[in-house]
Chains A and B, each alone.
Chain A
Amino acid sequence: MKPINGFYGEFGGAFIPEMLYPNVRELEKEYQYIIDSEDFQKEFRSLLRDYVGRPTPLYFSKNLSEKYQTNIYLKREDLNHTGAHKINNTIGQILLAKRVGKKRIIAETGAGQHGVATATACALVGMECSVFMGAVDIDRQAPNVQRMKLLGAKVIPATSGSQTLKDATNEAIREWINNPLDTHYIIGSVVGPHPYPDMVAQFQSIISEEIKNQLFDQTGKEAPDHVIACVGGGSNAIGAFYHFIDNDITQLIAVEAAGHGVQTGKTAATIALGKKGIIHGSQTFLMQTEDGQIVEPHSISAGLDYPGIGPIHAYLSESKKAKIVSISDQEAIEAGIFLSRTEGIIPALESAHALAYLEKENFGKEEIVVVNLSGRGDKDMVTYEKYI
């Protein structure tokens, strides 16, 4: 799934102010060459193995399979170091940043998972790290703020706008404009200007690379019949889809957060609402008013609380290569509690959205369904607690 001139169909591009052009252009010129180099691959792969703990298991869930009368496998991204898939990307980007000679890292974070993964990568290579986080999220996600600080990162409150993820992203981009020469911006999902979506997708594609090999080893099959993943910006989903796009066998299912319901105004189901425009330098679907003002989303899971969607997913949706569905707050909570009690795995609330979709479709008895368990639920205990 490669963009053409930075676009996936009509989606993507790099709609950035001239002040950012040299930075983005530099990345665009260098990223593929660096990623493809033997030296990079060697370091990246060995860190993924020895530091992150990859490959993560592809676990056949007997209990879920019995309940839903099909064959359900969980891709255990929750078992990664720092507890989610986010670290696949931050390790990749930090190695890249080092190779283009950057001295300092900035990042945005919503729930704090990407912030923690970035702070971790920076600690590992000894780079200075500043993480922008909405002031509202700093209050909501205190444990992750503490983790980032312990890891040596500076957490900078974004006090503009609605003081959540989109504003943290705005602040990170502004900081980048102000420090174009020594700073690399590690974006946390397949969003932002080209080449970010493609770069992040490549780093996350390790997920489906492993699924493919593990599934073959365990079942002799080349590809699953269905892959289900939640989408905030879309990085864990594209990682889980990557090697199964365009293969005729696999149905790709991307689960958006419906919040209280797609039509309630309290939702994060960006594609379902379906209005095209530009957010954070990328042409895609976003939640906005008729006048083009970006709307604050709602989801019970902070990691899905983003008013845009990666341009790759906008394209997969528009070209019908993926099925886009949505799951409400309540359904996600129930699925999260259910998995905890039937399998002994507490999923992140984001991942619980993917699990909840199992209720919605009848899969064949012989079919293979892979659910990407993007992260663990420790960070969500305060929310879970209200429901148990």
Chain B
Amino acid sequence: MDRLKKMFENTERKVLSIYFTAGYPQLNDTETIILELEKNGVDLIEIGIPFSDPLADGPIIQQSSYKAIENGMTLKLLFEQLKDIRQKTQIPLVLMGYLNSVIQFGEDEFCRKCVETGIDGVILPDLPLEYYEMKYQRLFKNHGLNLIMLISPQTSIERIQKIDAVSSGFLYLVSSNSITGGTENLGKQREYFKRISDMQLNNPTLAGFGIHDKESFEIATENTNGAIIGSAFIKSLEDQENLEKAVAKFLSPFKIDQCV
């Protein structure tokens, strides 16, 4: 059964999802980070495919991407690193990246590799609804791969309904109209999250962008199924000496009641 679906069905508390950039801080940290995140109570992991020109990302994810590319990370290598990951963990894994990386890899081959590796879904922020329907929907469906789309506070009701109908896995609620890595108070967005929640959509919802600590996580999840932390986690890996300890330390504030 679909690992994402199962996770949402079986998780009673709010889902905690972590994003990290593959190849950062070190080229071969991918597997360690995944396993440590799982060990520390994370429910879902988004693996970022580093891209030279990440339009929707703020400085922290940009920096980690440049560093990862410099370290030698490629999409091909990422699949190689993840080859045996399903023998080690069943945590849902989602790839997040930009469409150009997928096009260069070959769209069909990309989907095939995802399925073979045990990737559960894909997020491509620069692939809008219309082009997905026109060009890629059939491909993803044929491969049985979830395509997770973004919704922003500006997205109209009709468009949200269309996106909900076409997406699967979950919906990514961009917390405010901004790029990643903001630290603005999310309190203003309560109305937006509530409005989406009241729509009773088919897909579960995860809030992302700007969620950076326990407090913002709680605000963001009042009316969603969970939330995604990216930039703040990546920042915590910046100057650490020991990856395992850094991951555990970052997640310790979340652990207390995630375990209750």
Find out whether the CB atom of A15 lies under 8 angstroms from the CB atom of B126: yes
Given the complex, which residues of B lie within 8 Å of A161, measured CB to CB? 52-53, 62, 66
Tell me if B52 and A294 are in contact (CB < 8 A).
yes
Q: Are A15 and B127 in contact (CB under 8 A)?
A: yes
Contacts A15-B99, A19-B152, A19-B174; A281 near B126 (Cβ below 8 A):
yes
Contacts A160-B62, A180-B177 hold; do A293 and B152 have CB atoms under 8 A apart? no
Q: Are A178 and B101 in contact (CB under 8 A)?
A: no
Q: Which residues of A contact B99 (CB under 8 A)?
A: 15, 278
Interface size class of A (residues with CB under 8 A): 20 to 34
Shortest CB-to-CB span from A296 to chain B, Å, is 9
Q: Count of B residues near A, CB < 8 Å?
A: 41
The main secondary structure of chain A at its interface with chain B is mixed
Contact B155 A21, beta carbon cutoff 8 Å: yes
- Considering the complex, give the chain A residue whose CB is closest to the CB of B57: A174
Q: Is the CB of B42 closer than 8 A to any CB of chain A?
A: no
With A15-B128, A17-B126 known as contacts, the answer to whether A293 contacts B69 (CB < 8 A) is: yes
Chain A 254-294 residues near chain B, CB threshold 8 A: 275-281, 286, 288, 290-294
B100 touches A292 (CB 8 A): yes
Q: Is the CB of A18 within 8 A of B69?
A: no
Q: Does residue A22 face the partner (Cβ distance < 8 Å to B)?
A: yes
- Is B18 an interface residue when CB atoms closer than 8 A count as contact? no
Interface membership of A336, Cβ < 8 A = no
CA distance A351 to B159 in the complex (A): 45
Is the CB of B204 closer than 8 A to any CB of chain A? no
Partner of A178, one of B103, B155, B156, B179: B179
Interface positions, chain B 17-68, Cβ under 8 Å from A, are 51-59, 62, 66
CB distance A277 to B55 under 8 Å?
Answer: no
Residues of chain B within 8 A of A19, CB atoms compared: 56, 150, 152, 154, 174, 177-179
Is B104 an interface residue when CB atoms closer than 8 A count as contact? yes
Closest to B63 in A: A160
What sequence of 0s and 1s flags, for each residue 178-208 of chain A, a beta carbon within 8 Å of any chain B beta carbon? 1010000000000000000000000000000
Question: For the complex, is A95 an interface residue (Cβ under 8 Å from B)?
Answer: no
Q: Considering residues A17, A22, A280, which has the most beta carbons from chain B within 10 angstroms of its beta carbon?
A: A17
Say if the beta carbon of A224 comes within 8 Å of chain B.
Answer: no
Partner of B128, one of A18, A160, A293: A18
A18-B152, A161-B66, A279-B100 are known contacts. Are A292 and B105 too (CB-CB below 8 A)? yes
- Chain B neighbourhood of A288, CB < 8 A: 100, 104
A15 to B154 CA separation, bound complex (whole angstroms):
17
Q: What 11 additional pairs, Cβ within 8 angstroms, besides A17-B150, A21-B152, A170-B54? A: A18-B152, A21-B155, A170-B55, A174-B55, A177-B55, A278-B126, A286-B100, A288-B100, A291-B105, A293-B51, A294-B53
Q: Nearest 6 pairs between A and B by C-beta? A: A292-B104, A291-B74, A18-B150, A293-B52, A292-B101, A17-B125
Chain B contacts to A: CB under 8 angstroms: 51-59, 62, 66, 69, 74-76, 98-105, 125-129, 131, 149-152, 154-156, 159, 174, 177-179
Residue contacts A-B, CB under 8 angstroms, 7 given: A18-B151, A19-B154, A21-B128, A174-B57, A174-B179, A291-B76, A291-B101
